[in-house]
Amino acid sequence: MNKRTLVDYESGSESDPGSPSDNPETSSSVIRPQSKRRQTSGSGIGAQDPPSAPAPTPAAPLNGNFGTRITPPKPAPKSTSPLPALGDRFNDINPSNPRTAVADDPSLHHGRQRQVPHIPGNWPSHVYIDWEPSSGDRELLTSLVDKLKAEAKSAAQRSPDLEGVEIHTALRDSDLPVNRPLHISLSAPITLTSNNKDDFLDDLTKAMKSCRVSPFVLDFSGGVNWYRSEESTRSFLVLRVREVQSSTGNTANSSPNPRLTTLLEKCNKIVKEYGQPPLYESKDMGYRFHVTIAWTHARPSASLKQLTDSVFDDCETMHSENVSIRDKLRTGLSLPVQMVKVKIGNYVTRLDLRDKGLGLPVKTA
């Protein structure tokens, strides 16, 4: 009887993947292919034959003789389903590359400068409401900014105050080819320390929970204009938001954004307790909430304001004779507010708005 030859499979040795870093900017999970186990020859314990080929499929007689037919494997069907949508926590991940330098370099960020210089051990922080526009809304806003950029470049030849004006979009990241979520600020840029950042988050969570603000909806009927603060080196093209009032809501003579104002007042109180500057602490704070869609280093001249108004009122941009971008923003776009976010360093904490107040924070890595 012939002896069957056993095949000895060779296998390489790979080191185990290391543990992920504790740094959220550099941590990752690596899945390596499994190494093949070495097969031993012989008939003792541990001996193993190599995998055998699948048994042939019996076939009907061919020309009066019995034979076998090998059925070829069917090709895998092509998937026609779309890629799964990214989770709603994707925007909480810092999309920029980690920076190791502590010195500010505006040349890396289109001339932007930090309002608060970075100090090792400090945690730049921000309280805000974010908005991920739908594909249609993002397309509308992108077409607006693109047209405004082209019109400003063309008009610079006849308007000296537009010469050198460069408009940058806030809808897309300048370093990575990804869309950026937009936001409404509930705080100015603030700085916390390693010793007080956790206490700040606890105090802010309690303060927000005590105000008992339920989810609400905003529209963009507050208008479009350029805004530049005294301490800023940039001008911002902003969409002013207004709360959609219910039949039992506030009257027309009250603040246009009562819920946003309540949230901001609670936030300002905690921010000041930690020695940080408040935001919009004035009588007209209810009218100042906005979403930024573009920015420029130039000051908003009369020519830039007039050009912006003409683009917003242009019906051709909407491919319609009756609807302008301004009207579309006023009646067609909405921003549902369901949570407040607190970003401390690269960690984002969600404070969900609920019928009986804000729920406990859920941290995202």
User: How many C-alpha atoms does 76 have within 13 Å on its Cβ side?
Assistant: 3
Which residue of the set 126, 290, 297, 319 is catalytic? 290
With H, G, I as helix, E, B as strand and everything else as coil, classify residue 181: coil
Backbone angles phi, psi at 203, to 5 degrees: -65, -40
Gap between the Cα atoms of 185 and 280, Å rounded: 10
Q: Could you tell me which of 237, 203, 198 has the C-alpha nearest to residue 220? A: 237
Cα dihedral angle (226, 231, 233, 234), rounded to 10 degrees? Answer: -20
Q: Do residues 326 and 310 make contact, with C-beta atoms less than 8 angstroms apart?
A: no
Gap between the Cα atoms of 358 and 197, Å rounded: 20
Residue appearing with tokens 């007039």? 306
**Tokens representing residue 246 in the block:** 């219910």
Chain-centroid distance of CA 304 in Å reads 29
Gap between the Cα atoms of 247 and 358, Å rounded: 24
**205 backbone φψ class: left, alpha, beta (φ>0; ψ -120 to 50):** alpha
Residue appearing with tokens 């061919």? 62
Task: Decide if 183 is catalytic.
Answer: yes
- Kind plus residue range of the DSSP H or E element containing 258: helix 258-273
Gap between the Cα atoms of 52 and 39, Å rounded: 14
Gap between the Cα atoms of 113 and 99, Å rounded: 15
Q: Which residues are catalytic, by number?
A: 183, 290
